[in-house]
Amino acid sequence: MGEQLGGLKRTYMCGELTVEYVGKSVVVMGWVNSRRDHGGLVFIDLRDRTGIVQIVFSEQVSKEAFEKVQSVRSEYVLAVEGEVVKRLPENVNSKIPTGEIEIYAKNLKILSKSETPPFPIEDRSNISEAVRLKYRYLDLRRPSMQKNLITRFKLTQAVREFLNDNGFIEIETPMLIKSTPEGARDYLVPSRIYPGKFYALPQSPQIFKQLLMIAGFDRYYQIARCLRDEDLRADRQPEFTQIDIEMSFVEVEDVLDINERMIKHVFKKVLDVDLDIPFRRLSYQEAMERFGTDKPDLRFGMELKDLSDILRESEFNVFKNALKNGGSIRGINVKGAALMTRKQLDELVEFAKNFGAKGLLWMQVLEGEVKSPATKFLTEGELNKILERLEAEVEDLLLIVADKDEVVFDTLGHLRVEMAKRFNLIDESKYEFVWVVDFPLLEYDEEEKRYVAKHHPFTSPKDEDIDLLEKEPLKVRAKAYDVVVNGTEIGGGSIRIHDTELQKRMFKVLGFSEEEAWKKFGFLMEAFKYGAPPHGGIAYGLDRLAMIITGSDTIRDVIAFPKTQNAVCLMTDAPSEVSEEQLKELHIKVDL
């Protein structure tokens, strides 16, 4: 059994001891990072969240402590009382901040023993995700994970600081809410009191924040947990956190402006990075045409170029069909990549097919010739114009896709990023922010055979496009915006509809009958009747933002207890079966 503290007080954290403390009697507490036993002399590196300090045990200092330390092993929890001593110059460890001093141990308490941990508690070993998640509390003991969670904390502090100073009020909204159509699959919670009825867990506080605006809170924020029952990715967890913000009496520019200032504040506070504001702005249309995506990575060029006009008269069937079907022909220029092998090129074609492209046309621009499966189908004039349009030079690789616009953009957009990664074109030290604005309000859902909201059904159309709502729904642009950094969408929002009539028209376009709309969103429509201010806001993916700021590859590394790709918690084994009694109480029969 471990010893009790017995009144012993910690006086310093391990990482804060420096030469300034030489001569002081101190008490430190922490975990054994490592033990180096030299027989007559034992070194222990003691670790807490602030760092590591070396403790020296020898018979001369304390026979009792020296004898006690013989049994100490990795990850034992110790309290050490001793004197801070300056190390001899030849013994200084310049790799750690406390490396100029050490503690001569006079008194040792073994507060807790530890079995040998399943993996070493250090940053340099890369342990499989499964083992890390099963022993998450040990994984979180590693310095890099501690740093990540502390950075995340600083991030939320900086956000709160800014919003508090700018008149925003933090308000909580319910977790047990009404299930509404549209959007992601809900997590459901059965009601015990009302057999057969369910609450939903919120996908976001969207409707509640709008109701808070109607209630007159004017500026609201919340760091809110959101839940969506959809398939996971490196940057998606079933539960995640949003920085949720809403403001009254504002237009698009007002929202963008205050958010730029907030992001600038946060980056300064957390990373000491000075961002230039205002951020660049791109319309959705322009983002798609130049980068093939609505979340462009602006740290490098390689922009898409439209070749349709050049190939208008082409006899090549691939081009002809694409244009005939209302599509386009576009390409990118991968500088200096011409010398790829045939196998690598074939792999690129396969890569392109992932995004629905039927093929990918490559052109190797070589000294005096262009190697490509397409050259024989092109006139010399066409070829030269393509080279000119893509600013091709010797050793460049041109990649061309002809298809529906949607497929062309998606394929080239992904190829652009993939090639930039392969050829190391990305400056990792940069933060390239951009607002993508003027999103389409609606898109057509082939499965459901109806229009669906691209953002959400409360998003306001642009004033000048309102009249197109019924006539040409796909042409209506929204007062919606996303903030993108380095190719990752970290936040998005919109100015909302605050008018009952317009909201009704919107529901109608979405294919809801009056009754349906009223049944699902009646409380909101009702609220609109009593004086709704113009309002809008934004929501950030806090986890993604933390991922960017810490330079992590996955949001799991900035979440204390994440789930696997199959939405399982390996530590607690959730989800799990529940007792018959629990099910009975909820009037639920499991049908497997």
Return the residues of window 545-564 that contact RNA according to CB under 7 A: 554, 556, 564
Stretch that binds RNA, among 176-184, 253-261, 318-326, 390-398 (CB under 7 A): 176-184
Q: Which is nearer to RNA, 236 or 504 (CB)?
A: 236
- Of positions 120, 143, 359, 534, contacts RNA by CB under 7 A: 120
- Structure tokens belonging to residue 545: 């933002």
CB of 567 to RNA, least distance (A): 8
Upper half-sphere CA count for residue 472 (Cβ side, 13 Å)? 7
For residue 95, the minimal CB distance to RNA (Å) is 5
Q: Does 225 bind RNA (CB under 7 A)?
A: no
If the CB atoms of residues 145 and 378 are measured against RNA, the closer one turns out to be 145
Residue range at the interface with RNA (CB under 7 A); choices 96-104, 145-153, 463-471, 512-520: 96-104
Packing angle of the helix pair 252-271, 143-165 (nearest 10 deg)? 140
How near is the Cβ of 325 to RNA at its closest, in Å? 19
Determine the distance from the C-alpha atom of residue 574 to the mean position of all C-alpha atoms in its chain, rounded to a whole number. Answer: 23
Tokens of 120: 């070493």
Does residue 403 contact residue 322 with C-beta atoms inside 8 Å?
yes
Q: Is the peptide bond before 562 cis (omega within 30 degrees of 0)?
A: no
Minimum Å distance from CB 356 to RNA? 7
Residue numbers 308-367 binding RNA by CB under 7 A: 354-355
Q: Does 87 bind RNA (CB under 7 A)?
A: yes
**Terminal Cα-to-Cα distance of the chain (whole angstroms):** 47
Choice between 166 and 283, CB closer to RNA: 283
- The yes or no reply on residue 570 touching RNA (CB under 7 A) is yes
Is residue 73 a contact residue for RNA (CB under 7 A)?
A: yes
If one asks whether residue 182 binds RNA (CB under 7 A), the answer comes out as yes
What is the size of the binding site for RNA (CB under 7 A)?
Answer: 71
Using alpha carbons, select from 334, 342, 346, 272 the residue that is nearest to residue 303.
334
- Decide: is 373 part of the binding site for RNA (CB under 7 A): no
Least separation in angstroms between CB 405 and RNA:
14
Q: How far apart are CA 425 and CA 420, in angstroms?
A: 5
Q: Does 203 bind RNA (CB under 7 A)?
A: yes
Amino acid at position 281, single letter: R
Q: Any contact of residue 521 with RNA (CB under 7 A)?
A: no
* List of residues 6+ apart from 576 with CB closer than 8 A: none
- Of 216, 278, 231, which Cα lies nearest the Cα of 435? 278
For RNA, which residue of 281, 320, 335, 414 counts as binding (CB under 7 A)?
414
C-alpha span between 144 and 150 (Å, rounded): 10
Distance CA(410)–CA(407), nearest Å, equals 5
Helix (H) or strand (E) holding 306: strand 305-306
- The residue from 15, 17, 45, 509 that contacts RNA (CB under 7 A) is 45
The piece of 359-367, 448-456, 467-475, 517-525 that touches RNA (CB under 7 A) is 448-456
Q: How far apart are alpha carbons 568 and 298 in whole angstroms?
A: 35
Nearer to RNA, 304 or 547 (CB): 547
Minimum Å distance from CB 557 to RNA?
10
Q: Which of residues 133-152 bind RNA (CB under 7 A)?
A: 133
Residue 330 CA to residue 409 CA, distance in Å, equals 8
Give the residue, chosen from 345, 453, 476, 546, that forms a contact with RNA under the rule CB under 7 A.
453
Among 26, 232, 340, 466, binds RNA (CB under 7 A): 232
Kind of pairing, strands 198-200 and 219-227?
unpaired
Decide if residue 237 touches RNA (CB under 7 A). Answer: no
Q: How much is the CA Rg of the chain, to the nearest whole Å?
A: 30
* Residue 387, both tokens: 């080279």
Q: By C-beta, is 374 or 407 nearer to RNA?
A: 407
Should residue 39 be labelled a site residue for RNA when binding is judged by CB under 7 A? yes
239 is an interface residue for RNA by CB under 7 A: no
- 22, 131, 271, 525: which one contacts RNA (CB under 7 A)? 131
Nearest distance from residue 73's CB to RNA, in Å? Answer: 5
Characterise 526 by phi-psi region: left (phi > 0), alpha (psi -120 to 50), beta (else): alpha
Q: How far is the CB of 196 from RNA (least distance, A)?
A: 25
Task: Give the CA diameter of the chain.
Answer: 94
- Is residue 452 a contact residue for RNA (CB under 7 A)? yes
Q: How many residues does the chain have?
A: 592
Q: Helices (H) and strands (E) in the chain — how many of each?
A: 16, 22
